[in-house]
């Protein structure tokens, strides 16, 4: 009799453990399904276009924070990067005191057409993450790389935002947009961009030597000095372009 009772107790304990194991496996499977659904939903969401506010948030908190500057001087360009020869540049920087008021006026215009800011019209998180990866992997080591950073993280998104405004009739009238808007850098057409951009850049820490006119020219020493001065002026004019000056272009409907 006692043996029969002991066997029944053993069987009951085995059944209890089996039920608990089955419940545990069922719970694990449920959690795995929920995690897979969550990851799938997150992946699909990251592929969806962003709203304006989400785009601004990613630009401010992700892209603008990702800039890295090369600290190894041997890996940076050695040209006169800060020499403003033949360039337009600010001589004085002052606080923009009324910026908050102007920005508030802009937000009020959006508030009058609230549906715009909730529409998914802008690059997705996946697209922004691709740009973010490129920015993180490419530290700023020259003026050209700084321009690329500005173009990829600011200019391209501004153009997309203005294009979206242009396609929205109420906002197009609100902001007075009558045509296509773009940005570009004015370059001297007589220069070949690659050659002239690299002319004064040297990764070995030495400056490119200037060509000196031959003062032993048979026409006389005076002529030699004149040629040397002329070549020096031409070299200065040619080697500096206006790539640092950015122009905002608003093309009207007739493409003017």
15 burial level (CB within 10 Å; 0-12, 13-18, 19+):
exposed
Give me the percent of the chain exceeding a pLDDT of 90: 32
Task: Tell me, yes or no, whether 119 and 163 share the same domain.
Answer: yes
**pTM summary value:** 0.62
Average pLDDT, the chain: 76
If asked whether residues 40 and 139 sit together in one domain, one would say: no
Lowest-confidence pick of 55-59, 71-75, 87-91, 228-232: 228-232
* Whether residue 56 sits in one domain with residue 41: no
Total domains in the fold of the chain: 2
- The pLDDT of residue 79 is 65
Model pLDDT for residues 149-185, shown as the tens digit of each residue: 999 999 999 989 998 998 888 898 888 887 776 666 5
Domain of residue 117: give its range.
50-70+98-187+246-252
104 domain residue, yes or no: yes
CB of 113 closer than 8 Å to CB of 171: yes
Together in a domain, 108 and 37 = no
Distance CA(182)–CA(166), nearest Å, equals 12
Long-range contacts of 218-221 (CB under 8 A, 24+ apart): none
Q: Are residues 121 and 176 in the same domain?
A: yes
């Amino acid at each position: 009799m006692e043996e029969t009772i002991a066997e029944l107790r053993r069987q009951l304990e085995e059944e209890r453990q089996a039920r608990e194991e089955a419940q545990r496996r069922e719970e694990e499977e449920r959690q795995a399904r929920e995690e897979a659904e969550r990851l799938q939903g997150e992946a699909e969401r990251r592929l969806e276009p962003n709203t304006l506010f989400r785009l601004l948030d990613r630009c401010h908190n992700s892209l603008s924070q990702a800039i890295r500057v090369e600290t190894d001087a041997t890996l940076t360009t050695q040209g006169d990067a800060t020499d403003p020869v033949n360039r337009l540049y600010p001589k004085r920087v002052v606080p923009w005191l009324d910026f908050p008021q102007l920005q508030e006026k802009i937000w009020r215009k959006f508030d009058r057409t609230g549906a715009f800011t909730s529409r998914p019209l802008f690059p997705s998180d996946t697209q922004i993450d691709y740009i973010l990866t490129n920015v993180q992997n490419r530290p700023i080591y020259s003026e050209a790389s700084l321009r690329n950073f500005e173009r990829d993280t600011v200019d391209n998104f501004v153009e997309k935002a203005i294009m979206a405004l242009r396609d929205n009739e109420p906002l197009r009238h609100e902001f007075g947009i009558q045509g296509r808007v773009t940005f570009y850098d004015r370059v001297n057409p007589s220069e070949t961009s690659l050659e002239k951009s690299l002319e004064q850049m040297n990764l070995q820490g030495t400056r490119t030597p200037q060509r000196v006119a031959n003062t032993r020219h048979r026409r006389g020493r005076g002529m030699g000095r004149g040629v040397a001065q002329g070549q020096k002026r031409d070299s200065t004019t040619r080697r500096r372009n206006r790539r640092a000056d950015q122009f905002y272009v608003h093309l009207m409907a007739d493409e003017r």
